[in-house]
Structure 1
């Protein structure tokens, strides 16, 4: 599924039950998102210069299997663009043994940071700033 990166669970990410705190799954997804955008040629300074910013509008995590200290996971990130002002990022957090730990679904837009409104075509807005959107796509 799209771009992926490997992450090792650290002890300080565990809750009192000995598994990864729920909020950390969002952090793992964020690591994969940021690395995917960088792999796609995104230069954050260029986005700021152009007054463009990807924004998270909603996120949902479906927990499937617990993570514990020392587990190693692959966090993926795959974009799907349609015809509207938003696009989705579908992400999976999978243990290296193949066990699905969580699915993370996010709805995003690309904001014109001057007008404080979403661009009508987020894919074109990202491409205009030098982002190779094809790198972000699923499959």
Structure 2
């Protein structure tokens, strides 16, 4: 376990993102997770240097904890968990500024060879070879 905080990005809930109940539409939670994932990949340098390989979302799951309403400001965290196979996890929490956990998102991703349209082996190694900042990507990195 690490004492470091995961990467985070701040988002303000906009009126047009609300559903008929007046709270954030369920699909927008997924969008917020995607914003955090892309911001993390960009900040870590993982979007450059991969050549003809790109990250691809394979599965996503959201647990809704508290409603979000127009004007709420949230921090969306993102932290990578590498394993030994072709896939890796990216976990995000959507947290109100007062510390209230609004949602938890767990995603499974892989790195896809864009010509072969197949997942490549060792995503961690691919990120490392591309010069990505592994310590920014993952709090589990020493």
Tell me the number of residue pairs that the alignment of Structure 1 and Structure 2 aligns. Answer: 136
The answer for unaligned runs of 5 or more in structure 2 is none
Structure 1 vs Structure 2 CA RMSD = 1.3
Q: Which structure's residues are more often helix, by fraction? A: 1
**Aligned pairs (5 A) from 1:65-104:** 65-104=66-105
Q: CA deviation at 1:126?
A: 1.9
| Structure 1 runs of 4+ with >6 Å offset | none
Q: CA deviation at 1:127?
A: 2.1
1:9 and 2:9 aligned: no
Q: CA deviation at 1:138?
A: 2.7
- Does the 8 Å contact 1:110/1:126 carry over to 2? no
**Aligned pairs (5 A) from 1:22-33:** 22-33=26-37
The answer for unaligned runs of 5 or more in structure 1 is none
Scaled by the length of structure 2, what TM-score is found? 0.90
Scaled by the length of structure 1, what TM-score is found? 0.92
SS for the counterpart of 1:123 is: helix
CA distance in 1, matches of 2:57, 2:45: 20
CA distance in 2, matches of 1:43, 1:71: 30
**Aligned pairs (5 A) from 1:1-139:** 1-44=5-48, 46-47=49-50, 50-138=51-139
